[in-house]
Amino acid sequence: MTDPTRFDLDDRQRAMLAEMGVRVWWPQGIATPAEAPLTVPEPPVAVHAKSGAQVHAPPSVPKPRDPLTAARPEPVKGQVLPHGVAQMDWPTLQATVAECQACGLCRTRRNTVFGVGPTRADWMVIGEAPGENEDLQGEPFVGQAGKLLDNMLRAIGLSRQTEGRPEGVAGVYIANTLKCRPPGNRNPEPLELQTCAPFLQRQLTLVQPRIVLAMGRFAVQSLLQTSEPIGKLRGRVHQVQGVPVVVTYHPAYLLRNPADKAKAWADLCLALQTVPSA
């Protein structure tokens, strides 16, 4: 059986990886593991205290380092969400989010990402966490993922515009599960999702949507309080605070996996069929 850790691939293996879109790369000027001489350092020698015999101590193995450790800020101690989030109006809620320091994400964010769209809307879209572009602009779903989302919404007659929407186009309020960007666009951590949840719950209450479209694994699982994958949650209607919820893939995922756009379209159609009539 071929050792998967070796890089001395033959021409056939390299061709197979190329077909899969996997590029085999090694820095120029540095010998590959197959070419480089293998040198094993001599283990340290100790002398047994009683017999005087030489004892070779086992070489120390460095502990693997979590590549995200440096990107995870330490929690801010002594900070909690202010009381009364469930009773806040829109201006108070937005100001509270902007000043929030309840978790360590406040140390690395540029802007909080509150939400966008009409504050009373029949539709509400809930995404995962802000990315780099969202962190810079303070608005959810911008960049290429935002363009795809806007196209998806436009296809079913929706727009995030607060004013000046074309006739016959309904408004949609868009928010994220997290209001701050995790550094390096890493996955949200459970404590961060839990800390930020009251803000989203209050937004949901204030918007009073007739349908919620949850996009992406972390948004779906946090909103529905489940660990089931999206594949098992799609195709059926869920309930949160008495509001029907349809789940689908995140636009960023669809950009990487365009074959699943057909499934996302089916989810939009399900949402259209589910939304109660006015």
Q: Is residue 61 part of a domain?
A: no
Q: Is residue 156 part of a domain?
A: yes
What's the domain count of the chain? 1
| Maximum distance among all Cα pairs of the chain, rounded to whole angstroms | 94
Q: Are 247 and 220 in contact (CB under 8 A)?
A: yes
Q: Is residue 154 part of a domain?
A: yes
Q: Is residue 4 part of a domain?
A: no
Rounded to 10 degrees, the C-alpha dihedral 150/154/160/161 comes to 120
Q: What is the pLDDT along the chain (278 residues), one digit of tens a residue?
A: 444 333 444 554 444 434 444 444 433 443 443 443 434 344 455 555 555 555 554 444 444 443 333 344 444 443 567 679 999 999 999 999 999 999 999 999 999 999 999 999 999 999 999 999 999 999 999 999 999 999 999 999 999 988 888 888 999 999 999 999 999 999 999 999 999 999 999 999 999 999 999 999 999 999 999 999 999 999 999 999 999 999 999 999 999 999 999 999 999 999 999 987 65
Token pair 């159609």 is found at: 269
Q: Is residue 236 part of a domain?
A: yes
Beta bridge partners of 240: 243
CATH number at residue 114: 3.40.470.10
Radius of gyration of the CA atoms of the chain, in A: 26
Q: Is residue 134 part of a domain?
A: yes
Strand ranges (E), 133-225? 158-159, 170-176, 211-215
Helices (H), ranges, 25-177: 90-98, 132-137, 143-155
Residue 152: closest CA among 130, 188, 122, 123: 123
Structural domain including 205 reads 87-274
Q: Is residue 64 part of a domain?
A: no
Q: Is residue 69 part of a domain?
A: no
